[in-house]
Amino acid sequence: MIKRLLIANRGEIAVRIIRSCREMGIETVAVYSEADRDSLHVRLADRSVCIGPAPPAKSYLVKENLIMAALHTDCGAVHPGVGFLSENPEFARLVRDQGLLFIGPDPEVIELLGDKVRARATAQKYGLPVTPGTGAVSGETIQAAEALGFPVIIKAAAGGGGRGMRIVRRAEDLRDNISIASREAEENFADGTVFIEKYLENPRHVELQIIADGSNAAVLGERDCTVQKNHQKLIEESPSPAVSAGMRRAMTAAAVPLFRELKYRGAGTIEFLVEEGKFYFMEVNARVQVEHPVSEFVSGVDIIRQQILACTEGRLELPGQADAAAAGEADFPAEPPLSGWAMECRINALTPGKITRLEVPGGPGVRFDSFLYPGYSVPPHYDSMVAKLIVHETDRNHALARMDRALRELVIDGIATNKERQRWIINHPVFHYGVFGTSWYENIEKEVEHVQ
């Protein structure tokens, strides 16, 4: 077991990693920009190092500064968190080349999965269903895209989050949108490669939580991430109302061999679009996800702990694992037992400002992951998410009631947030009924935006 770990990230994910490390007896080193000097993760870590000014391009994205901080503080490993450099193969390679452990898959695996064109081809190789589409766009693939039938969607091969993404409904708009998407991809990911898929109008967005140790892989259930604004997730839940037991088994049976063959280590997520009882591979996120707490609630597994164990000791500690070994069963438990229903609301800051009052909800089955505290000034330089409110109950109806109660208890004064908008969404009859697709939020957005 390593003695000290550097966290190459900030905010609530850095706080989350610190908490698991402390329980494991691992010291932590926080890095921070000048704007994050007073951030909670800096206060909680055993040591901290300033790595530059506020802009991420001059601090959290400077690979050399992060490596130097890890070496200077005698760390044995680097945890990349989410966002920033968490799926950057060059950073993972630099960490490895300096004799440090990277808490994530090998850089070659990150590189493969980070290129959506190659990842799509790899998924097909292992029998995963994909939506009809093309490889990297060229003169020939434009004609192939037209043959798919409209609408189609153009995607950046090297990124996500809605950047470099365009929906095209008419053939005459295709070339211009390819140019725009490619330009956006180049600006955001330093790679202008784009590809084209048949666009599904209103699917569900469902993902499997994977944890793997380089030889074995387990699925900690699925998460439904269908409620989105501009391709950014707002609410996540596990299990998904749209996934039957049979579909869950089929998804798991398709995903586990892929991760085993890749010799994947750490946490990862394989994402699918679900429509009319069928599922289609979309991408793999080679890191822990923001929404991992809902999977932790239903599985009883500390995903950060397992991620660290897998990448530093090559092993996992999962429910059912010891029982299987004691019974002499050769198969690794690919589906540890799950219990209940979990739901997460992302709390986003609509304005920067100083926190004048913070009241955190409590009670059974309530969790609040955040880096806020009274007196802290939320900087304007980073992602707008300032907290995650997660609840767990026996079933979906009870989970909805618990989430509504917890949102009502939550008080964050000093900044404007989307808290009341989240309450409005979870109390909407369509959300309660559980039958909706990725375009649902866009259809009700004007109703939601008036909620303060």
Which secondary-structure segment (H or E) carries 358? Answer: strand 357-359
Helix, strand, coil in percent for the chain, rounding step 5: 40, 25, 35
Q: What angle do CA 296, 46, 264 make, to 5 degrees?
A: 40
pLDDT for residue 452: 65
Q: Measuring CA to CA, which residue among 171, 104, 119 is closest to residue 311? A: 104
Selection from 63-67, 171-175, 199-203, 441-445 with the highest mean pLDDT? 63-67
- The pLDDT value recorded for residue 321 is 72
Lowest pLDDT segment from 106-115, 358-367, 442-451: 442-451
Does 323 have pLDDT greater than 70? Answer: no
CA-wise closest residue to 189 among 54, 61, 58, 9: 61
Summarize pLDDT for 251-262 with one digit per residue, the tens.
Answer: 999 999 999 999
- The residues, any chain, with a CB within 8 Å of residue 347's CB and separated by 6 or more, are 370, 385, 386, 387, 388, 389, 410, 412, 417, 418, 419, 422
**pLDDT of 379-390, one tens digit each?**
999 999 999 999
Nearest to 255 by CA among 236, 275, 280, 274: 280
Radius of gyration for the chain, computed over Cα atoms and rounded to the nearest angstrom = 21
Contact at 8 Å (CB) between 220 and 299?
yes
- pTM of whole model > 0.75? yes
- Tell me the per-residue pLDDT of 3-57, one tens digit each, with 9 for 90 and over: 999 999 999 999 999 999 999 999 999 999 999 999 999 999 999 999 999 999 9
Question: Does residue 330 register a pLDDT over 60?
Answer: no
Q: What is the pLDDT of residue 329?
A: 56
Annotated catalytic residue: which of 16, 287, 402, 423?
Answer: 287
Of the pLDDT bands very low, low, confident and very high (cuts 50, 70, 90), residue 82 is very high
**Digit-coded pLDDT (tens) for 368-416:** 999 999 999 999 999 999 999 999 999 999 999 999 999 999 999 999 9
Sign of CA dihedral 362, 366, 367, 368: negative
Instruction: Please name the residues in contact with 382: beta carbons below 8 A apart, sequence gap of 6 or more.
Output: 10, 11, 56
Question: Strand (E) positions, 159-316?
Answer: 166-168, 194-198, 204-213, 217-229, 232-238, 265-275, 278-285
Confidence check: pLDDT of 287 > 80: yes
Tell me the percentage of the chain whose pLDDT exceeds 70: 97
Sign of CA dihedral 274, 295, 264, 259: negative
Q: Is the pLDDT score of 159 beyond 80?
A: no
**Tokens (6 digits) for 269:** 């997520």
pLDDT of residue 326: 60
> What is the rounded CA–CA span in Å between residue 282 and residue 376?
38
- What was the pLDDT predicted at 215? 93
Phi and psi, residue 322, nearest 5°: -65, -40
DSSP 276: T
Give residue 328's pLDDT. Answer: 56
- What pLDDT does 138 receive? 75
Cβ–Cβ under 8 Å, residues 386 and 318: no
The predicted pLDDT at position 55 comes to 94
Active site residue 223: no
Mean pLDDT of the chain: 93
Which residues face 348 on adjacent strands?
385
Local confidence band at 319 (pLDDT 50, 70, 90 cut-offs) = confident
In the block, residue with structure tokens 């880096």:
371
Residue-by-residue DSSP string for 315-331: ----TTHHHHHHTT--S
CA 448/CA 125 separation, integer angstroms: 42
> What's the pLDDT at 320?
74
C-beta separation of 387 from 40 below 8 A: no
Q: Is the pLDDT of residue 290 over 70?
A: yes
pLDDT at 324: 61
Q: What percent of the chain has pLDDT over 90?
A: 79
Measure CA of the first residue to CA of the last residue in the chain; give whole Å. Answer: 48
Confidence of residue 188 (pLDDT cuts 50, 70, 90): confident
Q: Indicate the SS3 state at residue 237.
A: strand
Domains identified in the chain and CATH numbers? 4-103 (3.40.50.20), 132-198 (3.30.1490.20), 204-326 (3.30.470.20), 341-449 (3.30.470.20)
